[in-house]
């Protein structure tokens, strides 16, 4: 059985790599891309807002198909006035960046790829593709844990999940969703393997650091774990309480640091 799992793993790596390449070849330059590239250049040139806006659209134009670039500019019919403002007005472009900047972990990962030598648009699109590949391998390992005697089912289900439209879509566009999926899968592995509370906390921290808007999820897990342990031991687990406080503090630090205005301000 062990040798069959090794063969299955080799087989799934080839399939996931092929699917990842297919998604990369069909990548989409969507209207979120300028926001994340703007965040990247803000880290590189924090005192040059005009340069940040110009570089963002210049670099996208080099890579994007003409139709998709026109869509990013908001000049396709019907015209999108907001996208046009972001493309042509530095103040408007910079003011919308906090909505993207709070995804700190995601933006740092983009910066890492950029520093390695990829262009800014490729850093964004490749991050989704790499996350898709890693997620595929992690899904296979999760299924191996769940179905330890059925390697064929693990392969079939892995490929099936990776072919789901939401998965292929997330791997092709500029979004932190595919990046966070791999961390959530790590969380599932931790649950199945019963990792200790501090290892699980590190995963929860990574989730919050990457997507602060996932704070309800991370706190809900800690609350559920706390209730479970209370009924087990008949006393509160102060470690879980401390972990919850740390996550809340991290959340508010990120919100304050990047001057996140909140979606309600869009409608004022």
262 CB neighbour count, 10 Å cutoff: 10
Handedness of CA 121, 131, 104, 100 (dihedral sign): positive
13 vs 151 pLDDT, higher one: 13
pLDDT at 261 over 70: no
Q: Work out the average pLDDT over 232-254.
A: 91
205 vs 261 pLDDT, higher one: 205
What pLDDT was estimated at residue 262?
59
Burial class (CB in 10 A: 0-12, 13-18, 19+), 233: exposed
Q: Of 16, 10, 49, which is closest to residue 162 (Cα–Cα)?
A: 16
Average of per-residue pLDDT values in the chain: 91
Interval 37-93: pLDDT, tens: 999 999 999 889 999 999 999 999 999 999 999 999 998 888 889 899 999 999 999
pLDDT at 143 over 70: yes
pLDDT at 268 over 90: no
Interval 83-128: pLDDT, tens: 999 999 999 999 999 999 999 999 999 999 999 999 999 999 999 9
pLDDT at 264 over 80: no
* pTM for the model: 0.91
Interval 125-142: pLDDT, tens: 999 999 999 999 999 999
What pLDDT was estimated at residue 216?
94
Give 79's Cβ-side CA count (13 Å radius): 5
Distance CA 246, CA 98 (A): 22
The three-point CA angle 82-45-255 to 5° equals 65
What pLDDT was estimated at residue 187?
96
Distance CA 207, CA 222 (A): 13
What pLDDT was estimated at residue 61?
94
Q: Helix %, strand %, coil % for the chain, to 5?
A: 80, 0, 20
What pLDDT was estimated at residue 265?
47
């Amino acid at each position: 059985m062990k040798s069959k799992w090794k063969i299955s793993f080799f087989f799934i790596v080839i399939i996931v790599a092929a699917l990842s390449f297919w998604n990369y070849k069909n990548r989409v330059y969507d209207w979120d891309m300028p926001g994340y590239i703007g965040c990247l250049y803000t880290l590189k040139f924090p005192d040059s807002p005009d340069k940040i806006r110009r570089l963002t659209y210049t670099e996208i134009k080099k890579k994007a198909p003409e139709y998709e670039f026109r869509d990013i500019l908001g000049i396709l019919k019907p015209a999108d006035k907001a996208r046009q403002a972001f493309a042509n007005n530095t103040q408007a472009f910079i003011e919308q960046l906090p909505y993207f900047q709070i995804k700190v972990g995601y933006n740092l990962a983009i910066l890492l790829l950029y520093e390695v030598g990829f262009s800014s648009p490729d850093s964004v699109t490749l991050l989704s593709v790499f996350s898709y590949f890693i997620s595929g391998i992690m899904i296979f390992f999760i299924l191996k844990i769940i179905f330890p005697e059925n390697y064929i089912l693990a392969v079939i289900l892995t490929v099936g999940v990776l072919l789901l439209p939401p998965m292929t879509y997330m791997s092709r566009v500029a979004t932190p969703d595919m990046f966070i999926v791999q961390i959530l899968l790590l969380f599932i592995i931790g649950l199945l393997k019963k990792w200790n509370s501090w290892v699980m906390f590190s995963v929860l921290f990574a989730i919050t650091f990457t997507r602060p808007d996932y704070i309800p999820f991370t706190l809900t897990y800690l609350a559920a774990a706390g209730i479970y342990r209370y009924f087990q031991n008949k006393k509160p687990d102060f470690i879980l309480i401390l972990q919850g406080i740390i996550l809340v503090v991290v959340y508010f630090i990120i919100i304050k640091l990047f001057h996140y205005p909140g979606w309600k301000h869009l409608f004022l």
